[in-house]
């Protein structure tokens, strides 16, 4: 065993010497850094086991060390560079030096690996104090549980994070700093799994509590309506569009893509069993459907356009503004072939 010790030490020394080491001394007048990483390829991409060390320029004393089993960085003209944040998915430096808690003193965020969303870079955050740099669990969480490093808005004194799951769910959060801790201020979730409708949930802090508002939006750029018109009384918009082989009706709030009511989406029953009755040969062209105890008729003639609702034996007429009409209720000839829920 005694004979093996020198050999083991030699191997360890060779392994350490094999690491690529880069010095950064232009990000601060008070500190410099050394970055060690296992290997770099010919394109300038470095990765593998490594560490980030921070030193005082005054006395060359090491003040912070952050080790990582998987460090990753790009070289710029052969050099490592601090403070690159191409959020959320672009290049991020392994060393970020900025004021994250808005106290006027710059703090350190040092990469500890690829532990954020989808194997993105994650960071440990050290706040500047009168007694040196102190690790912050709460700020570190913001650089671990989301997609990469968080974004700083120094003017508004806000912190912004983003995370996602798959193609269709995203969360955007805003934090403010109170008592030197990041506090959730607004959380916006967007869920496009119900495309072309997108579910939106907004949580906002009101009187120290998070208040939730949830609604759906119509992704109008993708819906490609057959027909739309704004109602005269309230400027709400009636939209008829096709999604796959299903015809849809949506009523949007005034000057908004927010959905007030839709059919067959969010109506009772299976989509393909929720049908429209189509009548193109009378004085009016109409599309009619029933949801619960109400019957809706979208109508169009040479001089009129709008929607009528029959509820509890009483008819409510909501005329549209002809000047806002686009397309036609007459879906014949409008790529309507194959729609399964029109009779």
pLDDT (tens, 9 = 90+) of the chain, 343 residues, equals: 455 445 444 444 444 456 899 999 999 999 999 999 999 999 999 999 999 999 999 999 999 999 999 999 999 999 999 999 999 889 999 999 999 999 999 999 999 999 999 999 999 999 999 999 999 999 999 999 999 999 999 999 999 999 999 999 999 999 999 999 999 999 999 999 888 899 999 999 999 999 999 999 998 777 778 899 999 999 999 999 988 888 999 999 999 999 999 999 865 555 556 899 999 888 999 999 998 889 999 999 999 999 999 999 999 999 999 999 999 998 765 666 788 888 8
Q: Confirm or reject CATH 1.10.287 for domain 17-149, answering yes or no.
A: no
In whole angstroms, give the CA distance from residue 135 to residue 122: 15
Contact by Cβ (8 Å): 57, 39? no
Residue ranges per domain, the chain?
17-149, 154-221, 224-327
The 3-state DSSP class for residue 119 equals helix
Architecture per CATH, domain 224-327, reads as Beta Barrel (2.40)
Contact by Cβ (8 Å): 20, 49? no
Burial class (CB in 10 A: 0-12, 13-18, 19+), 123: buried
pTM: 0.82
In whole angstroms, give the CA distance from residue 341 to residue 343: 7
Look at residues 32, 37, 115 and name the one whose alpha carbon lies nearest to residue 73: 37
Domains 17-149 and 224-327 agree in fold: yes
In whole angstroms, give the CA distance from residue 301 to residue 270: 31
Residue-wise over 89-112: b if at least 16 C-beta within 10 A, else e? eeebbbbbbeebbbeeebbbbbbb
In whole angstroms, give the CA distance from residue 333 to residue 310: 29
Residue-wise over 24-49: b if at least 16 C-beta within 10 A, else e? beebbeebbbbbbbbebeeeeebbbb
| Helix residue ranges per DSSP H, the chain | 4-18, 137-142, 220-223
Q: Which residues contact 310 (CB under 8 A, 6 or more apart)?
A: 294, 295, 296, 297, 316
């Amino acid at each position: 065993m005694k004979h093996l010790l020198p050999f083991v030490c030699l191997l360890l020394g060779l392994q350490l010497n094999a690491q690529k080491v880069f010095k950064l001394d232009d990000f601060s007048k008070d500190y410099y850094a050394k970055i060690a990483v296992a290997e770099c390829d010919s394109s300038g991409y470095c990765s593998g086991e490594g560490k980030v060390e921070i030193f005082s320029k005054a006395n060359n004393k090491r003040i912070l060390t952050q080790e990582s089993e998987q460090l990753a960085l790009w070289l710029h003209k052969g050099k490592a560079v601090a403070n690159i944040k191409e959020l959320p998915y672009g290049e991020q430096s392994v060393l970020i030096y900025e004021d994250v808690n808005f106290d006027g003193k710059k703090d350190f965020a040092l990469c500890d690996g690829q532990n954020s969303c989808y194997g993105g870079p994650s960071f440990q955050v050290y706040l500047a104090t009168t007694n040196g740099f102190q690790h912050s669990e709460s700020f570190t969480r913001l650089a671990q549980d989301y997609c990469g490093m968080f974004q700083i808005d120094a003017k508004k004194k806000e912190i912004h994070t983003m995370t996602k799951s798959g193609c269709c769910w995203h969360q955007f959060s805003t934090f403010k700093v109170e008592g030197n801790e990041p506090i959730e201020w607004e959380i916006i979730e967007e869920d496009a799994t119900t495309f072309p409708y997108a579910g939106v949930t907004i949580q906002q802090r009101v009187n120290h509590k998070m208040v939730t508002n949830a609604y759906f939006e119509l992704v109008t750029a993708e819906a490609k309506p057959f027909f739309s018109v704004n109602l005269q009384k309230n400027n709400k918009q009636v939209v008829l569009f096709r999604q796959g082989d299903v015809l849809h009706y949506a009523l949007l709030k005034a000057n908004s893509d927010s959905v007030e009511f839709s059919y067959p989406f969010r109506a009772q029953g299976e989509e393909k069993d929720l049908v429209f009755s189509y009548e193109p040969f009378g004085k009016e062209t109409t599309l009619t459907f029933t949801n619960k105890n109400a019957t809706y008729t979208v109508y169009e003639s040479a001089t009129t356009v709008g929607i009528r609702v029959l509820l509890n034996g009483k008819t409510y007429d909501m005329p549209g503004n002809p000047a806002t009409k686009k397309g036609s209720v007459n879906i014949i000839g409008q790529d309507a072939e194959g729609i399964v829920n029109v009779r």
